[in-house]
Amino acid sequence: MTTTTPRWDSRRTAKAERLQAGSRYCTGKEITPDKLGDLFHDLIRPGDRVALEGDNQKQADFLSRTLADCDPSRINNLHMVISSVSRPEHLDLFDRGIATKLDLAYAGPQSVRIAQMVEDGTVHIGAIHTYVELYARMFVDLAPDVVLLCAELADRHGNLYTGANTEDTPTIAEAAAFHDGVVIVQVNEIVDTASLPRVDIPSGWVDFVVQADRPFYLEPLFTRDPRHIGPVEILKAMIAIRGVYERHQVISLNHGVGFDTAAIELLLPTYGETLGLKGTIARHWVLNPHPTLIPAIESGWVDSIHSFGGEAGMNRYAAARPDVFFTGADGSLRSNRVLAQLAGQYAIDMFIGSSLQIDAEANSSTVTDGRLSGFGGAPNMGHDPHGRRHTSAAWLDLAHGDGAGRRGRKLVVQMAQTFRQGGVPTFVETLDAVTVGEQAGMPLPPVMIYGDDVSHVVTEEGVAYLYKAHSLADRRAALAAIAGVTPVGRTAHPQQVEALRSDGLVAFPEDLEVETRLADRSLLAARSIEDLVAWSGGLYEPPSQFRDW
């Protein structure tokens, strides 16, 4: 009987071979930019698992553009792991046959194209993840062979400064660096070590750096122009402040992206002030630096903000408010998407966001017919984490159970207008995601937030306190009561609605003492981007597309 000695260092050996193959295009760790494609051809192998930094905002676009231009006969059948599929070349990789399989978390800008490519069989989806789920799997069964990242600055040894938009970079780098994957980073500039403001990722984690042909793409994803906030958004914000924030004394929270939550931020220094709520609600935030939060910060509402990423134009402002933002000794913002997601999961009292569709049982999804948007971080923060043990007033206010089984509950709030643009109903009997999942061969429908995790739904009609529902029938009835004349709302019965109001499962504006006549733009603390600049004392520098003065 013959035995073979097990091989324990095959990944390490393969990495050494890759590094040797790439070294001919480098001086030390510094890649000659016009040789990047050659390095890819010699270093990346068919069938590799490649993690590419598309983040929420920043994109390793020099690396992605170069990879998409590679020869499919030499690099093919790649398994791409991309948290945010945001750029055309992310999908060009599949059209050209360079990649075949994709694991992702979000695909907003490419949602229509990716839906068609999935239907055509060009893209094979491993799974649509939450952000934390995707990063976690990089340390388990999606360990990357190669990662392609971006940073602000590097020195020639490979030390990195990621700046305000650190986002996913350290987590993805660590997944590769400590399991013998190759780490390649594009930077805006390669400088002397002494010129690095701080070292965010040490050189020992980095194998190659290349100075990009232009600064990496950064999307102002969290900027909302107050000019586009109208009476309906303001009314919903008033209802949310009185019916949720004030009622439950919400201290720590996350706001989703959108005009609904931007309206709340802009009403805190005005409407919130008239209610005497400063210091009692909305003090600690897990949030990107939303420009619409500037008036609340300047008015003394905000104690702290920990951020997933930065926001274009907000760097000087964040640096000037170190008591509020997490900043380095150099003054620049420090963000971290994984830690912010975990803070959003376990350390906050409330998540409030919106969705494209909500069904009759309060299940919601951003995956609709012809559009595969993904989820991002909403499912991480938009559920009641059973691992939580610390108490707070808001968490205890939703407590349930008896004896040793008694526990608090996180507020998970969905905020929506009954009809979206074009008269498309938000509330439907069955989510499009069910059919989309079947057509794509997914084992489960791509639901973003499950209805039994949702504690409140807010519309322009009022609030449904779903956590009070004793049955599925109660939940459906409460949701229908505030769903307007949508297919779900038309199932509401007037007598039943009055009973729900009496029992506290539903509240209309008059029940909350919200004066609908006040829902006017005059209530906003800032009514334009220019106003936000003024509130910041000139520290906020909005991107050019938001300047009209």
> pLDDT at position 376, please?
86
- CA dist., res. 44 & res. 22, Å (int): 10
Q: Using one digit for the tens of pLDDT, what is the confidence trace for 181-209? A: 999 999 999 999 999 999 999 999 999 99
Distance, in Å, from the CA atom of 237 to the CA atom of 461, rounded to the nearest integer, reads: 12
Identify residue 139 by its one-letter amino acid code. Answer: F
Cβ proximity of 332 and 319 under 8 Å: yes
pLDDT value for 55: 87
Q: What percent of the chain has pLDDT over 70?
A: 100
Residues 6+ apart with CB under 8 A from 116: 370
Best CA proximity match to 249, nearest among 348, 384, 465, 397: 397
- 94 HSE (CA, 13 A, CB side): 25
Q: Which of 57-61, 171-175, 276-280 has the lowest mean pLDDT?
A: 57-61
Under the banding of pLDDT at 50, 70 and 90, the label for residue 6 is confident
Separation between Cα atoms, residue 370 and residue 55, nearest integer Å: 23
Calculate the average pLDDT of the chain. 95
Q: How confident is the model at residue 256 (pLDDT cuts 50, 70, 90)?
A: confident
What is the set of domains in the chain, with CATH numbers? Answer: 30-218 (3.40.1080.10), 226-531 (3.40.1080.10)
Q: Which helix (H) or strand (E) holds 305?
A: strand 304-306
Residues in Cβ contact with 218 at an 8 Å cutoff, skipping those fewer than 6 apart: 57, 58, 59, 165, 312
Buried-state track 16-34, b at ≥16 Cβ within 10 A, e below 16: eebeebbbebbeebbbeee
End-to-end CA, the chain: 83
Q: Which of 416, 419, 427 is nearest to 489 (CA)?
A: 427
What mean pLDDT is predicted for residues 495-523?
Answer: 97
Which residues have CB under 8 Å from 363's CB, separation 6+? 431, 447, 449, 450, 451
pLDDT value at residue 2: 64
Q: How many CB atoms lie within 10 A of CB 309?
A: 24
At 358-375, the pLDDT tens digits run 999 999 998 888 888 888
Which pLDDT band, with edges at 50, 70 and 90, does 414 fall under? Answer: very high
Q: Please provide residue 441's backbone torsions phi and psi, each rounded to the nearest 5 degrees.
A: 75, 25
